[in-house]
């Protein structure tokens, strides 16, 4: 059984590519069901955030990656061949290392961000609830959560409040010299919106307005931070009245279009409007950039804002990597041991199969033997086979404690041509 990862992230693909492969939370259960039912994959989990879309799979052999590509083409309606330059594909130890880096926050746009660990946990819980994370992926994700917790407890990688939301508010603070005189509109009242609301209040905005498709949720969030809930239907009017707009909804299509912004800008009479879209898929039509005095930034534009954060924490990456190396050894020992049982079973079956074939070949000559003598011959063959297998079996068990044991176990399987006992050796 192999662990496989197929994905893309903020380093390999721009936001306009990432949003095409995003998996909304409500769509993930059906997607997981299709992966294990229709694409011959034993286990599956989907990690989809504003910065990445990744499939984690347990499959027999490397064909699982081909099946994952076919799934993306059929499920997301994209030409996967044209996206190959954006994908990374990983297997076994490389897949584990990658997920450990993700959970620890050192693979994030905002180094050490706090939100990714809860997103990894939610990915596991969703896969567990839908029966697509069983032995292998359950263990992998549980250990990745342990890495993430250790990284934040034993290093300063997560010092302070770090997230895409903090970067967005910091960008707004850089643009407006006196953000305390600004009126801010928050579009979206989910977890990301809640974080953003807190940081806007901490930054000292003069007024916070919150809108959401579910009015009750907007009212709840606004009340918590002393803001004002405004109707979602009045979004265009609000665009005309505020200075800063930050969007973070889970919508699959833009909630602020080009036409609404043109109308709002006409009402503003030339006053500039500053918008930050931190959603994937994007909430604001990118064509808004063509409108005079509209300054639109998306999640990829936050790179410069977070560069200083990365420099401050470069030294912590080495400490986190040491934790990853430590936890990887433990995981690989478990993973390798998982493979020894089936391998030992297959090797014994191969020996028994060959023994039976040889007895069949010599049936005519053995007919003259008594039943006792025939049984003696069979016992000699078994004893000889057991002696031949003794040292390989000892080595197989040793490989479970080797960091690269999964490679050696695969070599043993290939050397003994295990997996297809139906093949006849014509020699």
Question: pLDDT per residue over 335-363, tens digit each?
Answer: 877 666 676 777 777 777 777 777 777 77
By CB atoms closer than 10 A (0-12, 13-18, 19+), residue 82 is exposed
For residue range 131-156, list pLDDT tens digits in order.
Answer: 999 989 999 999 999 999 999 999 99
Q: Please name every residue paired with 276 in a beta bridge, in sequence order, or none if there are none.
A: 246, 297
Residue 427's pLDDT band (cuts 50, 70, 90): very low
Tally Cβ neighbours within 10 Å of residue 90.
19
pLDDT at 204 > cutoff 50: yes
Check if 182 is active-site: no
Nearest to 266 by CA among 291, 296, 232: 291
For residue range 17-49, list pLDDT tens digits in order.
Answer: 999 999 999 999 999 999 999 998 999 999 999
For residue 313, CA distances in Å to 105, 239, 309, 326, 405 come to 11, 37, 6, 20, 34
Catalytic pick among 50, 96, 245, 400: 50
């Amino acid at each position: 059984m192999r662990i496989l990862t197929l994905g893309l992230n903020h380093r390999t693909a721009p936001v306009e590519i990432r949003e095409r492969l995003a998996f909304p939370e409500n769509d993930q259960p059906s997607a997981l069901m299709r992966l294990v039912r229709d694409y011959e994959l034993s286990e599956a989990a989907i990690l989809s955030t504003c910065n990445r879309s990744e499939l984690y799979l347990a499959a027999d052999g490397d064909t699982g990656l081909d099946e994952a590509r076919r799934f993306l083409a059929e499920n997301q309606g994209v030409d996967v061949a044209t996206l190959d330059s954006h994908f990374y594909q990983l297997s076994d130890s490389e897949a584990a290392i990658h997920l450990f880096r993700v959970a620890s926050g050192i693979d994030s746009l905002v180094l050490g961000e706090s939100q990714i660990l809860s997103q990894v946990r939610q990915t596991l819980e969703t896969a567990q609830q839908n029966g697509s994370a069983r032995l292998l992926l359950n263990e992998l994700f549980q250990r990745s959560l342990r890495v993430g917790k250790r990284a934040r407890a034993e290093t300063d990688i997560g010092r302070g409040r770090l997230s895409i939301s903090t970067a967005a508010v910091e960008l707004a603070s850089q643009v407006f010299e006196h953000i305390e005189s600004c009126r801010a509109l928050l579009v979206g009242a989910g977890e990301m919106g809640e974080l953003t609301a807190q940081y806007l209040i901490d930054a000292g905005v003069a007024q916070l307005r919150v809108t959401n498709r579910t009015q009750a949720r907007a009212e709840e969030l606004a009340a918590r931070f002393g803001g004002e809930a405004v109707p979602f239907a009045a979004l265009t009017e609000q665009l005309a009245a505020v200075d800063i707009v930050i969007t973070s909804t889970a919508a699959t299509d833009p909630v602020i279009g080009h036409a609404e912004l043109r109308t709002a800008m006409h009402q503003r009479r030339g006053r500039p409007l500053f918008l930050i879209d931190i959603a994937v898929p994007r909430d604001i039509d990118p064509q808004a950039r063509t409108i005079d005095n509209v300054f639109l930034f998306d999640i990829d534009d936050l790179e410069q804002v977070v560069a200083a954060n990365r420099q401050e924490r470069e030294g912590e990456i080495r400490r986190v990597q040491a934790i990853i190396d430590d936890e990887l050894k433990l995981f690989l020992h478990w993973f390798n041991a998982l493979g020894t049982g089936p391998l030992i079973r297959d090797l014994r079956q191969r020996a028994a199969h060959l023994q039976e074939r040889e007895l069949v070949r010599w049936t005519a000559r053995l007919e003259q033997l008594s039943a006792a003598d025939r049984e003696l011959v069979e016992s000699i063959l078994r004893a000889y086979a057991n002696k031949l297998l003794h040292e390989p079996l000892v080595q197989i068990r040793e490989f479970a404690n080797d960091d690269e044991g999964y490679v050696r176990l695969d070599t043993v399987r290939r050397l003994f041509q295990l997996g297809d006992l139906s093949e006849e050796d014509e020699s």
